[in-house]
Amino acid sequence: MHVPTPHTPLPRRPFDRSSFVLSATLAILAVLTIYGFTTFDTNGVDMDMALDMLGDNAKTLFFAPGLSNVTIEGLLKNLGVTVALGFLTTVLGAVIGMVFALASALNLAPVWLSVVVKAFTAVVRAIPTVLWVLIFAVSAGLGSVAAVLGMTFHSAGYLIKAYAESFEEVDAGSIEALKASGADWWQVVGQVFIPSSRAALMSWTFLRFEINFSTAIAMGAAAGAGGIGFDMFMASGFYLNLREMGAFTYAILIFAVLLEYVATKLHTKTMQG
């Protein structure tokens, strides 16, 4: 073996195009940010007063939450509506997602079918959920129906991709072994694909539920789908009640932390067994 002498100079690192592009982009962004901050137009605004008011508002929002137009039962009920919207669209999306994932995983479906389904779902995912809701609102009217349809649509597109990728990671050897023993397509799905990717399927679905929960809040306001999002919209835009906004924010925060906790528990549990 050739051992380099200590005096051999370190060879120059070869030019790497992607890391060059990355550092160039970061440098340009840094320059633009500094330029932006130094050339703010603050003529019409008294910055000291504005920052003062911002602090006051934040203080009311976060340190003096309270309810006035909505009762605590009303808040819980509307939080329930939002959770239900997120849950329903996740379940519907998961069912549709499972069917089409079976048709788009390359180790389960013929190539042409996989390409067609993957191209279609890529288009579905490229358009944001809010836009799908507005598109469905054309026929269903702005409201909960449009929200359910639009959110289901985007969830399905997302879960098809996530499920199909989990399926594609399944060990080709065990698929071959079961085929060799005479198992048919559905049996291979039920006995190899589902058990091998169960943990991944569960965590993708739960992650989508978390996304759908926050989308459901926004849809309550933007599409009039009801729930706690609509309450927030009323409190902020109609009553201008910062204390109530604070109460709603805390309610959502508590629920989100709860979701996160359950997700972590679920994940460790499925990983073990």
Radius of gyration of the chain (CA): 26
Given the complex with other proteins, which of 56 and 171 has the nearer CB atom? 171
Q: Could you tell me the smallest distance in angstroms from the CB atom of residue 272 to other proteins?
A: 10
Residue 57 sits in the site that holds other proteins (CB under 8 A): no
Give the 3-state DSSP-derived string for the chain, with helices as H, strands as E and coil as C.
Answer: CCCCCCCCCCCCCCCCHHHHHHHHHHHHHHHHHHHHHHCCCCCCCCHHHHHHHHHHHHHHHHHCCCCCCCCHHHHHHHHHHHHHHHHHHHHHHHHHHHHHHHHHCCCCCCHHHHHHHHHHHHHHHHCCHHHHHHHHHHHHCCCHHHHHHHHHHHHHHHHHHHHHHHHHCCCHHHHHHHHHCCCCHHHHHHHHHHHHHHHHHHHHHHHHHHHHHHHHHHHHHHCCCCCHHHHHHHHHHHCCCHHHHHHHHHHHHHHHHHHHHHHHHHHHHHHHC
Residue 111 sits in the site that holds other proteins (CB under 8 A): no
Residue 179 sits in the site that holds other proteins (CB under 8 A): yes
Given the complex with other proteins, which of 39 and 181 has the nearer CB atom? 181
Q: Could you tell me the smallest distance in angstroms from the CB atom of residue 99 to other proteins?
A: 15
Residue with tokens 């390359």, as numbered in its chain = 106
Among 66, 171, 250, 254, binds other proteins (CB under 8 A): 171
Q: Could you tell me the smallest distance in angstroms from the CB atom of residue 168 to other proteins?
A: 16
Among 186, 237, 238, 240, binds other proteins (CB under 8 A): 186
Residue 173 sits in the site that holds other proteins (CB under 8 A): yes
Footprint on residues 202-231 left by other proteins (CB under 8 A): none
Q: Give the count of residues interacting with other proteins (CB under 8 A).
A: 21
- Cβ neighbours of 234 (radius 10 Å): 16
53/76 Cα distance (integer angstroms) = 31
Residue 98 sits in the site that holds other proteins (CB under 8 A): no
Segment lying near other proteins (by CB under 8 A), choices 8-16, 59-67, 130-138, 195-203: 195-203
Cβ–Cβ under 8 Å, residues 263 and 210: yes
Segment lying near other proteins (by CB under 8 A), choices 85-93, 177-185, 203-211, 232-240: 177-185
Residue 183 sits in the site that holds other proteins (CB under 8 A): yes
Segment lying near other proteins (by CB under 8 A), choices 11-19, 103-111, 147-155, 166-174: 166-174
Q: Could you tell me the smallest distance in angstroms from the CB atom of residue 163 to other proteins?
A: 17
Residue 10 sits in the site that holds other proteins (CB under 8 A): no
Given the complex with other proteins, which of 88 and 178 has the nearer CB atom? 178
Residues that bind other proteins (CB under 8 A): 171, 173-174, 176-184, 186-187, 189-192, 195-196, 198
